[in-house]
Amino acid sequence: MGEFVRLEVDGAIGTIRLDRPPMNALNQQLHLEIRAAAQEAAERADIRAVIVYGGEKVFAAGADIKEMADLSYGEMLDWGGSLSTSLSAVAAIPKPTVAAITGYALGGGYELALTCDRRIGGDNAKVGQPEMLLGVIPGAGGTQRLARLIGPARAKDVIYTGRFVKADEALRIGMLDEVVAPDDVYLAARRWAEQFANGPARALAAAKAAVDIGLDGDLNSGLRLETQLFAALFATEDQKAGMRSFIENGPGKATFSGK
């Protein structure tokens, strides 16, 4: 439990809860606490899916500009590298992850959302990468993950202009995957996460690795990785249980242990 970040666990769902009022600005302490929470969520067997949530009012309005404004080039190399590493710890969680977004998710806040597998926003959400308005560029994954998510042309438009993208457009171009009423954001994220509470944990981790790592290379390399991960799952209890259940009872009735 950190001062600004908590990992709350309920029914196999872990929630990484940001709590640095008023806007959850990502200062160094907060992002180090995100890293610690992500690493714990990755390691705990009782957590099968993870929600990243900023609360009822705001997800995270960006990095703490007051903290970084007067840093030197060398200091920013360290600060920015540490922030990128912290957010990448969320991306590395080998479990389904979802960002539950109310209000603003901007700059470093949206970069945090980009590390998740899915993004659910309230109809009041505003997302974007406004770093250009400060004379800089996204520095913790925005140029890379956003371009992979929505394509380079749309990503360049969002990054070049620094504009705040409203929920309806964000849904249309893929910056959000689902839009609900603001009061329903966390519940919608939990409904999605709960699908995996009793799922085949090792197969889910393998699927995530195949997609994420595969996208970093060429198609043939990705296909080889997929084959290796697929074959490796035949060493798991869940593969035996799943295929035995299919033969005996038909699809969708297996009980998985996560082993």
Nearest to 47 by CA among 6, 90, 2, 93: 93
Half-sphere exposure of 204 (CA within 13 A, CB side): 23
Tokens for 123? 């109809």
Is 226 part of the annotated catalytic residue set?
no
Give me the phi and psi of 165, to 5 degrees please.
Answer: -95, 120
Tokens for 17? 């809860």
Nearest to 45 by CA among 100, 90, 94, 118: 94
Cα(111)–Cα(246) distance, rounded to whole angstroms? 40
Nearest to 180 by CA among 129, 130, 128, 118: 118
Is 111 part of the annotated catalytic residue set?
yes
DSSP string, 172-223: HHTS-SEEE-GGGHHHHHHHHHHTTTTS-HHHHHHHHHHHHHHTTS-HHHHH
Q: Are 195 and 159 in contact (CB under 8 A)?
A: no
* Catalytically annotated residue among 131, 169, 178, 226: 131
* Catalytically annotated residue among 3, 67, 111, 237: 111
Task: Give SS3 for 18.
Answer: strand
Catalytic residues: 111, 131
